[in-house]
Chain A
Amino acid sequence: EAGVTQFPSHSVIEKGQTVTLRCDPISGHDNLYWYRRVMGKEIKFLLHFVKESKQDESGMPNNRFLAERTGGTYSTLKVQPAELEDSGVYFCASSLPGQAQYFGPGTRLLVL
């Protein structure tokens, strides 16, 4: 069974540009989560989808971040315009209801 996949694995952009991250959850997992780890700090929750609906987006830092999950399958996280403090590793995780979360390998974003 394929795990959670994320694309791209790395992204280097300039301040002010737009970046879109993609996450493909494990097939059949209705729950999809986005997290971010800024260097040296804890992994922080961004938001949670149940199918195509946003269940909890309390962790989204500001309105420069937009997450979508059209059709309830893969999800995208767009940052527009990117700022220096957006640099970090963005993780996606998925789960079945009431079950453990499985994480993808992450996208390493560097904003210059």
Chain B
Amino acid sequence: QQQVKQSPQSLIVQKGGISIINCAYENTAFDYFPWYQQFPGKGPALLIAIRPDVSEKKEGRFTISFNKSAKQFSLHIMDSQPGDSATYFCAASKKTGANNLFFGTGTRLTVIP
């Protein structure tokens, strides 16, 4: 049973546009929600993370929006660039960074110049 559901599976965005990836979870014990970015041939790299005590976290062009009541969180990439083309994974765990991560299935983002 998949604990974190991610959509869409793939996404094509024009340069300068906004990329939005959505995730949903069921387990209310989750309290740490990271996003990972993976380039071909590389491992997933932590991009940005949020805890449920805040509804939004922004780092540069990347923003996580978190809706605790709906058990949903999303990644927004503003002013998307071709260099952002990668696979993005949302994840969740029950204890900040100290426990195993439950991942979504990934979203392959392509930013067209």
| Complex partner residue of B105 from A40, A101, A106, CB under 8 angstroms | A40
Contact, CB under 8 Å: B46 / A102: yes
A43-B89, A103-B36, A105-B43 known; A98+B97 contact, CB < 8 A: yes
- Distance (Å) between the CB of A49 and the closest chain B CB? 11
**Lowest 4 CB-CB distances: which A-B pairs, in order?**
A103-B43, A45-B100, A43-B103, A42-B103
For B2, the closest partner residue in chain A by CB is A42
- Distance (Å) between the CB of B38 and the closest chain A CB? 8
A104 to B98, CA, bound (A): 17
Residues 73-91 of B, flagged 1 when their CB comes within 8 A of A and 0 if not, give: 0000000000000000101
For B34, the closest partner residue in chain A by CB is A100
Main secondary structure of the interface of B (DSSP, over half): loop
- The total of chain B residues at the interface (CB under 8 A) is 26
B112 interface residue (CB < 8 Å to A): no
Residues of chain A within 8 A of B91, CB atoms compared = 43
Instruction: Identify 5 residue pairs between A and B in the complex whose beta-carbon atoms are under 8 Å apart, listed by A's number.
Output: A43-B89, A45-B101, A99-B96, A100-B34, A102-B46
A91 to B101, CA, bound (A): 12
- Distance (Å) between the CB of A93 and the closest chain B CB? 8
For A9, the closest partner residue in chain B by CB is B41
A81 to B40, CA, bound (A): 29
